[in-house]
Amino acid sequence: MNKPEFDAVKGTSLPKRGDSLDNLAGYPTEFKLPLLENIAGKYTNALYAPNDITVDWNGYKDHLSRVKPEIHPHVLFVGHDSSEIENITLMSLGGVLQHMNGTANYALMGANNINLLNDILENKQPEWIGFNLYTGLTDFVFEWIKNYKIERASHILKKNISDFDVADRALKEMVREAKGPLYDGDQLLYAPIIIGGHFNNYSFSESCIRGGDYVVRGKGINLLRDILLGLFTPGIYHDPMPYANIPRMDREVFYADMYEFSDKTKGYVFSRIKSVLSALGCSYTCSYCYISSLIDNLKEAYQGKGIKPPSIIQDRPIETVLAEGKDILSLDDHYGVKTSAVFDQADISLNNMEWWNELGRKWVNEVRIPFYIQARPAMLAGKKGIERIESISNRGLVSGISMAIESGDQNVRRLLLDRHENNSIVQDAIKNVKSFGIPLRTQAIVGLPVMKPSIPFDPAQSAVSLVDKDGKEYYFDDPLQESLKCLDLVCSSYFRKEDYYWNAIYSPFPGTPLGDYSIAAGFAGSETASKAYLFSSESGINCFSDVVAKRQIAFSLTSNFFSHFKNGKDLMSAFIYSGEKLDLNCFSRFVANESSLMAPIDQTSTCGLIPNVSHEALDGFIDYVYPNDADLEFKEINKRLLHYYFYLFDGLVLAAKMAVAYFNSKENNNPFELSNLYRVERIHYYDNCYHMNYIPKQYADYLTGLIKR
């Protein structure tokens, strides 16, 4: 590797393309700020050079013990409880605390229980409070911060303060003077607020205005270290540098706090799916995603420096990832769990096969849990794609692959989404994955703004649009036709029973090119950001009629079923354009009435607990499960859904899981609707991808004898 080039003008040594991003000394021995550059008065870029960062975290821990024995920071990290996968961001930041001889605690909150944060503060007494915010899940957090700051300012200043701005300014000034938490002797008076997360990619100013003492944009590892050291004063700081120096995650304490906090958060401890992170960064510039802004942010940071920035994608140290795998095994033993798959949350897995080959040799011997990975079509297509898939498949390193297609229309993919794989690449990637028998999940977006704007709009003023450089337009009169093209693309591929067609209804993220386009073209208002990350079943843009919106929802809830037929597009079209109510009853009647027209892609399966069941077996099970007249209506729905169960993966087990969900809904006086059917089906497919196939215990006596030998 090259040595970093010295920037004489700026007085720092920033890495350039091809340089090693390791700190050869392991960690800085001086406690000083990196190069700081003010960006148009909006935020401050913290340009860490390799010599400024910590890569030898164990050595740094020992160093701090010697030279700063008084440093023992205690941070409460707060995230959202809306995700079903564990929060590796918080665990990573907790790793920083561990290696600063400090302590981290964790809380995952929602709007319904944010007030419990007061009790946690009283019990844990953290010196700092760090929030990881998602767009659309912020108002209840900011309301809590408002009340906390008003109460603390009133207490410290010994007068009644009702104006939040007054309290906020006073506390920020006191934190500036104290260079951190506020004490009266040994008594903690105020724990400063640190705010990070995707929300700050665009709305960093709002985080500051609404109470953040320290607002972190971009990477948080280096900034958190130096904030806790007292090097930074309150403000908005951005770290655009692509260092992958995340320390070993603080999984043990995270699990302990999740176990203690609530029955809901115990789910992270007992889940058989854990998470790791193999690499940071993404080289793609997808217009709908915040991650794509990392490339622009890095280019901005290097503007005027005269050198090219390093690659945005950087692999984490293999030994660190391996150690985290061993931590999962150790905690499995402690809690009595059997982890069946680890989800690699890297935005692009398999980017560096040399890295994966080295990890794979050690992982299969020392950890032995397969990965569930995310990859792009271009990485899985062609000879190189086959080599990648073969390498992880032959070692038993992979339990499933997720691959984003997003649209089946090449022009939409290229012009509107800034995705440049053509349909041939997509189909070749699917073929390659299926040639190794790996379960595949394709991802698509429903409800994209593909219509012609109804207000005056200049495509030249937008980073994306459906008008090419020659002025040719690629709009859709009916947006459902664009969704149908994606379904048809998968239906014409090597998709099999064990594969899952996943989709989400589009919601614009402010600050992304597609989000800005949606607003500029009149398809959305700025308030639509409130729906982001909520996985709403309704469109996040306001340009669709009620009937189109209803069809979009029905499409998203049933598309996996239709994806398993060669004529899936025609079947889906007949369903959503039927003029019916498009509810569960309507869907079940359609499945029953149109069964003779269904042309399955494949009718056999080598996967599942009870593969290739007969109609008679399904019919008999339904009679067994619903013997009472009180359940006659749902029984009849299931009878009409015989072909639904027959053509989907492990259909008899799926029918059993559906029965469990139905009786749970009934017990709680909730209706069982098409959305419930969809959720059970989705989780059923996920179970297979994560090696978690099971028969519900309620029906084990009936079904166990049918399990394939």
For 55-96, write each residue's pLDDT tens digit.
999 999 999 999 999 999 999 999 999 888 899 999 999 999
Are residues 445 and 480 in contact, defined by beta-carbon separation less than 8 angstroms? Answer: no
Is residue 637 one of the residues assigned to a domain? yes
The predicted model gives 311-328 an average pLDDT of 97
The answer to whether the beta carbons of residues 532 and 134 sit under 8 Å apart is: yes
Instruction: Tell me, yes or no, whether 153 and 204 share the same domain.
Output: yes
460, 510 Cβ separation under 8 angstroms: no
Assess whether 244 and 287 both reside in one domain.
no
- Tokens 């949606």 — which residue? 518
Confidence tier at 542 by pLDDT (50, 70, 90)? confident
Q: How far apart are the first and last CA of the chain?
A: 54
Phi, psi of 548 (to 5 degrees): -65, -45
pLDDT for position 35: 95
pLDDT-derived band of residue 707, with 50, 70 and 90 as boundaries?
Answer: confident
Q: Are residues 213 and 194 in contact, defined by beta-carbon separation less than 8 angstroms?
A: yes
Q: Are residues 384 and 485 in the same domain?
A: yes
For residue 348, what pLDDT band results from cuts at 50, 70 and 90? Answer: confident
**Residue range 660-666: average pLDDT?**
98
Same domain for 60 and 100:
yes
Kindly state whether residues 333 and 479 are assigned to the same domain. Answer: yes
Q: Give 403-463 as a 3 state SS string.
A: EEEECCCHHHHHHHCCCCCCHHHHHHHHHHHHHCCCCEEEEEEECCCCCCCCCCCCHHHCC
Is 293 in the same domain as 224? no
For the chain, give the number of residues: 709
pLDDT of residue 4: 39
Same domain, 44 and 78: yes
* 102, 225 contact by CB (below 8 A): no
Indicate the pLDDT class of residue 602, thresholds 50, 70 and 90: confident
What are the tens digits of pLDDT across the range 383-439? Answer: 999 999 999 998 899 999 999 999 999 999 999 999 999 999 999 999 999 999 999
Q: Same domain, yes or no, for 536 and 658?
A: no
> What is the distance between the alpha carbons of residues 330 and 336, in angstroms, rounded to a whole number?
10
- Quick one: pLDDT band at residue 607, thresholds 50, 70, 90? confident
Is 578 inside a domain boundary?
A: no
- Position 585 in a domain: no
pLDDT tens-digit series, residues 197-234: 999 999 999 999 999 999 999 999 999 999 999 999 99
Q: Is residue 663 part of a domain?
A: yes
Cβ atoms of residues 276 and 88 within 8 Å:
yes
Provide the CATH number for the domain around residue 519.
Answer: 3.20.20
- Report the range of poorest mean pLDDT among 113-122, 133-142, 376-385: 133-142
- Express each pLDDT in 493-537 by its tens digit: 999 999 999 999 998 888 899 999 999 999 988 665 555 555 556
Examine the domain organization and report whether 162 and 255 are in the same domain: yes
Domain assignment present for residue 586? The answer is: no
Q: Is the pTM of this model over 0.85?
A: yes
* Predicted local distance difference test score (pLDDT) of residue 694: 95
Position 594 in a domain: no
Helix (H), strand (E), coil (C) string for 240-287: CCCCCCCCCCCHHHHHHHHHHHCHHHHHHHHCCEEEECCEECCCCCCC
State the pLDDT at residue 525.
Answer: 80
Q: What is the pLDDT of residue 532?
A: 54
Mean pLDDT for all residues in the chain: 94
Q: Are 519 and 508 in contact (CB under 8 A)?
A: yes
Q: What is the mean pLDDT of residues 327-337?
A: 98
* Domain shared by 177 and 282, yes or no: no
Q: Which of 215, 233, 259 is the last residue of a domain?
A: 259
Query: Which of 235, 259, 283 is the C-terminal boundary of a domain?
Result: 259
Domain that holds residue 50: 5-259
pLDDT digits (tens, 9 = 90+) for 148-163: 999 999 999 999 999 9
In a domain, 164, yes or no: yes
What is the reported pLDDT for 110?
Answer: 93
- pLDDT at residue 359 greater than cutoff 50: yes
In this prediction, residue 9 has a pLDDT band, given cuts at 50, 70 and 90, of very low
**Contact predicate 688/607, CB 8 Å:** yes
What is the per-residue pLDDT for 308? 95
pLDDT at residue 606 in the model: 74
How many Cα atoms are found within 13 Å in the side-chain-facing hemisphere of 172? 19
- In the three-class reduction of DSSP (H, G, I as helix; E, B as strand; rest coil), residue 74 is classed as strand
Q: Please check the confidence at residue 663 and state whether its pLDDT lies above 60.
A: yes
Q: Residue 609 falls within a domain, yes or no?
A: no
Indicate the number of domains in the chain: 3
Residues 238, 284 within the same domain: no
Q: In this structure, are 366 and 441 located in the same domain?
A: yes
